[in-house]
Amino acid sequence: MPTWNSRGLRGSTLEEFINRTNECYRENHLALIQKVPTPITPIKIDQQNRHITLAYFDQKSTVDYIGAVQGIPVCFDAKECQTDTFPLQNIHQHQVDFMQEFERQGGIAFFLIFYSHRDQFYYLTFRQLEKFWIRMEEGGRKSFRLDELEECYFFTGHNGLLVPYLDALQTDLNLRD
């Protein structure tokens, strides 16, 4: 069973950037997105500093973020990648299942992938993930390459926003019509 401290601080910088972006979106009345806490059971606590030093995950989490953008329900997960190939093992079946149900209910589900070696973000639509996932389940590649991704969903920080994903969300909505 995985423990809380076994994963270190992986992804914490990316999540902090997204959290700050979400604060700006909330302050400007563009979106209300919240970080979904992962339920844990503390095992060891540093009594002097009142910090949890070891914990077990209570259950599998679904997505990192959930909320609404101008009345549209959205959920997404944040992932970091240090190469041009993204391993699908970084995404779990329960996340795919949740996102699939979320979209069936009229919501928008996606992944925000930060390609750290390129300092570039990618908005991965659930539709696109699903194609890669099915390919994997049918015995194909267990990853996807940067050159397989749609150019219109790449973005970088701008206008003081660290992870300005609303433009990519708008592109997603436009391409759904």
**Strand-pair partners of 145:** 85
Tell me: is residue 95 an annotated ligand-binding position: yes
Tell me: is residue 62 an annotated ligand-binding position: yes
CA distance linking residue 168 with residue 122, whole number of Å:
9
Tell me: is residue 64 an annotated ligand-binding position: yes
Six-digit token pair at 170? 């708008």
Backbone angles phi, psi at 10, to 5 degrees: -55, 125
CA atoms within 13 A on the CB side of 72: 15
Measuring CA to CA, which residue among 78, 93, 80 is closest to residue 136?
Answer: 93
Please state the residue numbers annotated as binding site: 62, 64, 77, 95
Please state the residue numbers annotated as binding site for Mg(2+): 62, 64, 77, 95
